[in-house]
Each structure stands twice: as structure tokens, then as C-alpha cells.
Structure 1
Amino acid sequence: MYRQLMGLRQLSRRTITSSARRPVENSVKEKQKLFQEDNGRPIHLKGGSRDALLYRATITLTVFGAGCVVYELFSAAMPKKPH
């Protein structure tokens, strides 16, 4: 039992550490250059094709959701007549 508790203690020490496993490259300067250059593109599309895809998906889901809300409101306002 003592051995299991010591193993658990050692595992918890390994998973909660403040040091990074590998050094992370600082890419803030490159991102600042990309987003601050004046190339005529809106800021939400300067990230490339991934940003364009996310933008289109967001617009599609928003329009679809608004259509569902309008449909539900209309169906609630006009209930079906019983036969």
C-alpha cells in the first residue's frame, strides 16, 4: 500500500510541473508583421485559408440558426388547427 501511495505521489509531481518540455518559439513578431501590413484584406481574413474557412462556417451557422429561430417563432405563433 505504501509503495502505491509513493508511486501516486511521484506521478502527481511529474504531471504538475512548471517547466516546459521543449522550448517554444516566440512568433509574435512575425504575427504582428502579418496582421499590421496594409494589403487591403480585412483583419479577420489575414490569417489565410483557415481563417476564411472559419469565417464562412461561422456565417453559415449564424444564418442557419437565425432561420431556425424564425421558423420556430412562426410555428409557435400559428398553431395547427385540430381536425
Structure 2
Amino acid sequence: MYRQLMGLRQLSRRTIASSARRQVENTVKEKQKLFQEDNGMPIHLKGGSKDAVLYRATMALTVFGTGYVVYSLLSASMPKKP
């Protein structure tokens, strides 16, 4: 049993160490050009449609949360009628 565990350990170590790494292209220069471009667009929306969707979802959740907090505070401050 111990020999099998040691063999498995050696196999996993060899697989991880010898696996070929995928080369990723460096896109920092393109991103810098995109975000430093002066086109009148706010920085948090320059990433494209994904940024716009995330921004709108965040704003919707913020407005909904604020409304719910105000509703909860108003309902807690009003006494219940018997």
C-alpha cells in the first residue's frame, strides 16, 4: 500500500513538473493604449460591453438595496396597529 502511494506521489509530481505551459500573449501595451485614450468615456466603461453590463448591474443592485433599506426603516419606525 505504501509503495502504491509513493508511486502515485511520484507520478503526480512528474505530471505537474513536466506539463507544457501554454504561452500567453502579453496584452499590456494594448490595454494601456485603450485606457489612456482620451475619448470622453469614463475609465470604468472603457473595457467594453462587459464593463457596461457590470456597471449597470451594480447600479441596479445599489438602487434596489437603498430602496429596501429605506422601506425597512420606515416599516420598523411605524407602530403596528392592533
Asked if TM exceeds 0.5, the reply is: yes
Pairs within 5 Å for 1:41-80:
41-80=41-80
Q: Give the match for residue 27 of structure 1.
A: 27
Aligned pairs, number = 81
* Aligned CA distance change for structure 1 residues 71 and 7 (closer, same or farther; 3 Å): farther
How much does 1:11 deviate?
A: 5.8
Structure number with the higher helix fraction is 2
How much does 1:2 deviate?
A: 1.3
In structure 2, distance between residues paired with 1:57 and 1:72: 22
* Aligned CA distance change for structure 1 residues 76 and 9 (closer, same or farther; 3 Å): same
Letter in 1 for 2:53: L
How much does 1:25 deviate?
A: 1.4
Secondary structure of the structure 2 residue equivalent to 1:69: helix
Structure 2 regions of 5+ residues with no counterpart? none
Structure 1's consecutive aligned runs of 4 or more residues displaced over 3 angstroms after TM superposition are 14-17
